[in-house]
Structure 1
């Protein structure tokens, strides 16, 4: 992580996501601008968090560890997302691991400032409520998927959540085949079982796997297989 000292960029992101309006103040707040690289850990479970974080650029993966030492996938988050709201309100350590999927930019505001000046601010608290309730919804969905869905369904949901094309990129992106072991852990299955699923989908020409990557060939079949569920 590195701090970005670019006031113009900070102001652009604050305006773009109406963050300053949330606090209803004309004076400049002590915001920081933080940059994380691809695959960099943003937050570790059990550590102390000092600032509320606003994701304004990039994509991050949220996971939760289980007793076996493995992690389960909860969701992916994109702008505009708030990280640290539960830790702020409940005064607890970090509850989930957060990892940058690609280059990410976050705006931070220290907990001390918030607790001193903003805990009676209705606009700010209403925004926190919206984000916390959305997280509850997505965690409920993730729990249902992790417990009840087949590995094929979960993998299809993972692919649709991870590499489905954005509006400005109709082709999507490829998934690195070297990450299959990690994906198996996140989906609560074994590397061998997930490989069988990948082989089956390849035979059906839904995906194509080569030595280094997995590419989607049939988006509509994959969408149907995912049952419309996303880790978002």
Structure 2
């Protein structure tokens, strides 16, 4: 994690994402004193299981995945996030979930608020509390919907949804492709399947000319077909 002490950049993000709307006019100047822009590198963890959470983050842009650590030691995908969200909102209320991880998929930006200095101020801000309540309700809905997707949809659909989100763009001889080169054992865990089943599904997508093996991963050859199979994407 990199802290960026640049007030111009902070002001730019506040204006671009209308972040003042999340706070009351009375308390925003106090919150502003403690705000810092933060940058997370690809694959960097924002929260780790059983980690000591010191900040609440207003996630701005990039991509992150939220996973749950199961009792058998495996991980399960809960959510994929690309837009404005709050991380550490439960911890603000001294409620901790030691089995949740949040990891950046690509370079991502957020605004950090240190809980030590801002917790009591945030509790006094009725506008902020109203927004947090709404966002927490949305998270419950999203997690429930995504859990249903994990249980009720074939792996092919879930994998295509995941590929649509996780793949990065690369250029091959002047043509841009989506490229997937994640660890397949970890991907199988996240999607709640076996490594062999994942391999068979990737093989089927390759034989359908949707994917093509490239270096240590796969490129998407037919993005329209991939999107069609991912008709029910993970909610964000």
* TM-score with structure 1 setting the length: 0.87
Q: How far is 1:163 from its partner?
A: 3.4
Q: Indicate the residue corresponding to 1:15 in structure 2.
A: 15
The counterpart of 2:42, out of the listed 18, 38, 41, is 38
1:48 aligns with 2:42: no
Alpha carbons 2:63, 2:105 under 8 Å: kept = yes
**What is the CA-CA distance between 1:139 and the residue it aligns to?**
0.7
Aligned positions of 1:1-232 closer than 5 A:
1-23=1-23, 24=25, 25-26=28-29, 28-163=32-167, 173-176=178-181, 178-232=182-236
RMSD, matched Cα: 2.3
> What is the SS of the residue equivalent to 1:67?
coil
Q: What SS does structure 2 have at the residue aligned with 1:63?
A: strand
Conserved 8 A contact 1:153-1:226? yes
Q: How far did 1:69 drift?
A: 0.7
Structure 1 residue 31: Cα displacement? 1.0
**Following the alignment from structure 1 to structure 2, what is the Cα–Cα distance between the partners of residues 200 and 91?**
43
* C-alpha contact (below 8 Å) 2:157/2:232 kept by paired residues: no
Give the SS at the match of 1:209.
Answer: strand
* Closer, same or farther: CA 102–164 of 1 in aligned 2, 3 Å: closer
The number of aligned residues is 227
Q: Deviation of residue 66 (structure 1)?
A: 0.7
CA contact (8 A) 2:177 2:221 kept: no
Equivalent residues of 1:63, 1:74 under 8 A apart:
yes
From the superposition, tell whether residues 88 and 94 of structure 1 become closer, same or farther in structure 2 (CA, over 3 Å): farther
Q: Tell me by how many angstroms 1:101 deviates.
A: 0.9
Distance in structure 2 (CA, Å) of the matches to 1:17 and 1:95 = 30
When normalised by structure 2's length, the TM-score is 0.86
Shift of 1:188: 1.1
For structure 1, the 5+ residue unaligned runs are: none
